[in-house]
Amino acid sequence: MSNIDPLLAPIQALAALPKGTSTRAAYERLSEALVTVFPALRSRSPENVDRFAIQSALSNAVRATGLPDNSGGGVTAESVATAICDAVTATDAKRVYLCPLNYGAELLPRKFGPCEVQKFSQSELEAELQIARLKRQTPQLRLDTKLLSLFQWLVVRETVLLPERIGQRSVPMFYRIAGQDYGEINPHASTWPRAVEEAAFALLLLPWEDLVRDPNVDWRPFRIPWVYTSEHDPFVRLATPEDADSLALEPFGYEDPKTGEWDQWEVPMRTELAGNKNDAIVPLTDQRWNEITSALHLPAFNQRVVHFLVRAFATDGIDEFLAHAITIEAALGRPEDFHGSTRPRIGRQNPGATERVARRVEAILSDASAYRDYKELFDLRSKFVHGSCLAKIPSETRLKARRLARRVADALVSAASSTTYQDRNAFLSALCP
């Protein structure tokens, strides 16, 4: 256990400062005291980047844990010092992603792996958001947690490894590499945090286009307008959550039959499921989650499938349609399909990439109609991309794209889990050379 004694006096001095007084000198003393406890924290940079970053980390930690007071809240100099020392020696931290399900259908609560779909009471939601810590950090914070608690949430929990230098946790921008191209595109970056993207992918493998009441309007059972990251590393400054006015609400009224008085308030807008089937996510079990996440790391599975299926969910219009088409190409296409001189012949023929992918779609789904559906969708995709005047895409075709992309992605998960092929090219060649 670390020796917390050198930290006690600087923490008590911080607590004794009158409101509005500069805390810079007090944090410098606390930083110096921390370095006496952990000599390895001494600045290794000539610009003393570590020294300033450590002070920032300590400021975040003090706000996270609270300053000693006489209110009986249990916060003492010893508890703050212990929390700081524990954070210094920690190698990992908990991170919770909170995703409001906007326009969400009423779904039964469900837990699968580290993910949950559920509603919170106001106090439970405030605990997940770390509202007390947020208010210490931003005293002027205004957040309608009562209204937010009316929504259902996708919650994803993960444990993340922490950087070696604590300053990287508080102000990572100080540690950017000089000369790095910050405008470059990372083709492997995810739409949302990777853990959230995988959770959304698992949910999107369910046949929502057959489960929502009116899929011709929208096949989605909910939207995810934003993701809030609740960091449990005290050296990190929490972001400010979005408020309830960023979500879809509608007025709801009630007339008291005894008094005739009319009361009105706001409630979340809901998507209706066919037959009010609120048990739609029951198939998502821990076993199913393990099957999906294991498949993502197997040779036969292309990670871009996750990216594009989630991208189709997160966008609308032609971008949604194109993302679904690309999902199928990502699942069952390969670069060699485009090399006419080197790709294998099929009998006396040398069909192009589109034909080969269509045949793989038919093979993996064991469905001859899927071959025709893919060819139709790819033709529409090509006409749009290459500049033809494209008529409006009917909702029936939009749903066909969603359904086929989802079926192919689902079949690929099953195939990747069961195939003995150790190479993706060999797996796809077995479906169609």
Beta bridge partners of 250: 267
Instruction: Classify burial at 79, counting beta carbons within 10 Å of its beta carbon; exposed 0-12, middle 13-18, buried 19 or more.
Output: middle
pLDDT (tens digit, 9 = 90+) per residue, 312-332?
Answer: 999 999 999 999 999 999 999
pLDDT (tens digit, 9 = 90+) per residue, 25-66?
Answer: 999 999 999 999 998 887 665 556 678 889 999 999 999 999
- Which tokens go with 135? 């208010």
Residues near 303 by beta carbon (within 8 Å), at least 6 away in sequence: 188, 296
pLDDT (tens digit, 9 = 90+) per residue, 70-112?
Answer: 665 789 999 999 999 999 999 999 999 999 999 999 999 999 9
- Give the pLDDT score at 43: 66
- Give the pLDDT score at 94: 98
- The answer to whether the beta carbons of residues 260 and 113 sit under 8 Å apart is no
Q: What average pLDDT score do residues 261-284 get? A: 87
Q: What average pLDDT score do residues 171-176 get? A: 81
- Give the pLDDT score at 239: 95
- Give the pLDDT score at 243: 96
- Give the pLDDT score at 105: 94
